[in-house]
Structure 1
Amino acid sequence: MTAELGPDWVRGPDGLPYRRAARVILLDAADRVLLVRGHDAGETTRSWWFTVGGGLDAGESPHDGAVREVREETGLEVHPRDLVGPVLTRSAVFDFVRVTCRQDEEFFLARVDSARAVSDAGWTMLEREVIDELRWWELDELEDAVAAGTVVYPTTLPRLVRRVAGGWDGSVEHLDEVDR
């Protein structure tokens, strides 16, 4: 069951596949946010936009995992000192590859140069199967898309980006989300 999802998933106390994850809100100088669009391998008609990031390796800190995930998913380099936050923690229950999963995430903020090309060279086989595109979004455009029904995770992402783009105030929001 967890083998389909990847080696970073273990059975949690509630019996669901569980993992800890680090995610990064990547912003450029114009406050555009880089998002990934993916679909569910078990239900290909479902797709959504989400931030760069993923599961932590055994013994890996959220900061180190965030840096690794940015490199693997985009080819861009960030240093742990470039990460701001965590600006959000999220506990999510969701269906993926026809399995209900639980994930606890820490979200960081980092600035990158959008003129640098992104690369899929570090993608896993599962990522190659389910990731459809990476795209820079202007915040107004993202808010309009969400208002029109585009699915984005976390669901509060446009508001969160608005809050932290001008500078982080040190507060850490927590979000519980269930999407099944």
Structure 2
Amino acid sequence: MTFSATTILVLALVAAFIITAGVWAYTTANRLDRLHVRSDQARHALDAALARRAVVGRAVATILAGLYDPALVEQARRLTALADRAERSNWRDRETVENQLAVALSGVDIGLLPPQLVAELADAEARVLIARRFHNDAVRDTLALRTRRPVRWLHLGGTAPLPTYFEIAERVTAAASTGLDVDTVRTSARVVLIDEADRMLLLRGCDPKVPDVPFWFTVGGGVNPGETLREAAIRELYEETGLTADSSHLRGPLWRRVAVFPFNGELIRSEELFFALRTKNFEVDPANLDYVERRSITGNKWCTPTDIAQLDHSGETVYPYHLDQLLAEAIAAADGAIDPEVRSIR
């Protein structure tokens, strides 16, 4: 049996179409799988942020109840009840309860709370806001692909349930529902500096107003007007360590962190972007510390993950949190040829 040239051409076109459709279906199914994983991770992160706010809410309630004012005791009782309900509610009912908790927290007179608890509450609210936006962005991207007709017709999404948006009220203030007045809002460029032994450089410091509570942190600081993130990172690196580096060698930003904290008598909201940089080990010799930095930076250390964990366990907090677990990611970024995708951390 022989085939004409036309038949062969038609068969070739059909085969090419089937192969193309198969490749498209395979890549689309893989992409959907990654989007579902991203949505699940974003939901877990949002759940963790909401859980932390509930814990801080109970701490606020404890302070209010200890003031022995009947109105405050009732307010504390309601806060505790809402925090408990928020933690026990299923995801379908969570929005309503979390909005009720947010309203209850917004009614708290923060002047009755210790400054550190005020900062904790503001930070918890800011993290909920960021986590909720990351979650809804992930849901949006998943639904945009999952609801396309060819994807639905071919059931490329499998049996995974469609993700849903999480809608809770957002305040426009940086401190969210606390009603807190933030003294300074800034963007910071930070550098995860890694030596040839895969150790990270950390600086030891303290709040000049609270010199007996030390903590550890990465190199970096606020971005000046007119500076890019990379320019600020290189400048801060030189000022705080004496190291001169090329901005093209920075990898990132790989992490984004939003923190609200008291420092030197002010309440600061800082959006921190982290770069990774590989370097040879060197002796830290600050080149240009300002007056506040000279009072607040007290030491430095090249740290392994074990060192970082030991510092945390000793009571000297390391920022960002879980930095011992994040170091491997920073090493991979520093040694990579391209900038990684930025993600949110605590």
My pick for the range that moved more, 161-170 or 23-32, is 161-170
Q: After TM superposition, which residue ranges in structure 1, 4 or more long, deviate above 6 angstroms?
A: none
**Unaligned runs of at least 5 residues, structure 2:** 1-171, 175-180
Q: Which has the higher helix share?
A: 2
Q: Deviations over 1:110-147 (max 9, x none)?
A: 01111x32212311111111110011112222123324
1:112 paired with 2:279, answer yes
Maintained 8 Å contact 1:78/1:110: no
Instruction: Give the Cα separation in 1 of the matches to 2:217 and 2:269.
Output: 16
For residue 289 of structure 2, give the secondary structure of its aligned residue in structure 1.
Answer: coil
Farther-moved stretch of structure 1 (97-106 vs 157-166): 157-166
User: What is the CA–CA distance in structure 2 between the aligned matches of 1:172 and 1:50, rounded to whole Å?
Assistant: 19
Query: Following the alignment from structure 1 to structure 2, what is the Cα–Cα distance between the partners of residues 88 and 166?
Result: 13
More strand by share: 1
What are the within-5 Å matches in structure 2 for residues 80-159 of structure 1?
Answer: 80-114=247-281, 116-159=282-325
1:71 aligns with 2:241: no
One-letter amino acid of the counterpart of residue 40, structure 1:
D
Identity %: 35
CA contact (8 A) 2:230 2:250 kept: yes
C-alpha distance in 1, partners of 2:274/2:209?
26
SS at match of 2:224: coil
Aligned length: 164
* 1:174 is the counterpart of 2:340: no
Q: Which residue in 1 is equivalent to 2:67?
A: none
Matched residue type, 1:98? G
Tell me by how many angstroms 1:158 deviates: 1.5
Say if 1:111 and 1:128 are closer, same or farther in 2 by CA, change over 3 A: same
Shift of 1:46: 1.6
Q: RMSD of aligned C-alpha atoms?
A: 1.9
In structure 1, the residue corresponding to 2:326 is in which secondary structure? helix
Distance 1:56 1:161 in 2: 24
Local SS of the residue matching 1:101: strand
Q: CA deviation at 1:76?
A: 0.5
Q: CA deviation at 1:42?
A: 0.9
Q: Which structure exhibits the higher relative contact order, with contacts defined as CA atoms closer than 8 Å and separated by 6 or more residues? A: 1
Q: Is the 8 A contact 2:238 2:286 kept in 1?
A: no
State the shift of 1:65 in Å: 0.4
Q: Distance in 1 between matches of 2:311 and 2:295?
A: 25
Any stretches of 5+ residues in structure 1 without a counterpart? Answer: 1-11
Q: 3-state SS of the aligned residue for 1:31?
A: coil
Aligned residue identity for 1:129: R
Residues in 1 aligned to 2:268 and 2:221: alpha-carbon distance in whole angstroms: 13
Superposed displacement of residue 56, structure 1:
0.5
Q: CA deviation at 1:13?
A: 5.5
1:164 matches 2:333: no
CA contact (8 A) 1:50 1:154 kept: yes
1:77 CA drift (Å): 1.3
Counterpart-to-counterpart distance in 1, 2:310 and 2:284: 25
Partners of 2:226 and 2:189 in 1: how far apart?
Answer: 13
Report how far residue 84 of structure 1 moved. Answer: 0.6
Aligned residue for 2:345, secondary structure, equals strand
Q: One-letter code of the match for 1:136?
A: W
**Alignment partner, residue 196 of structure 2:** 29
**Per-residue deviation at 1:50?**
0.1
CA distance in 2, matches of 1:43, 1:147: 20
Q: Describe the shift of the 1:118–1:148 C-alpha distance in structure 2 as closer, same or farther (beyond 3 A).
A: closer
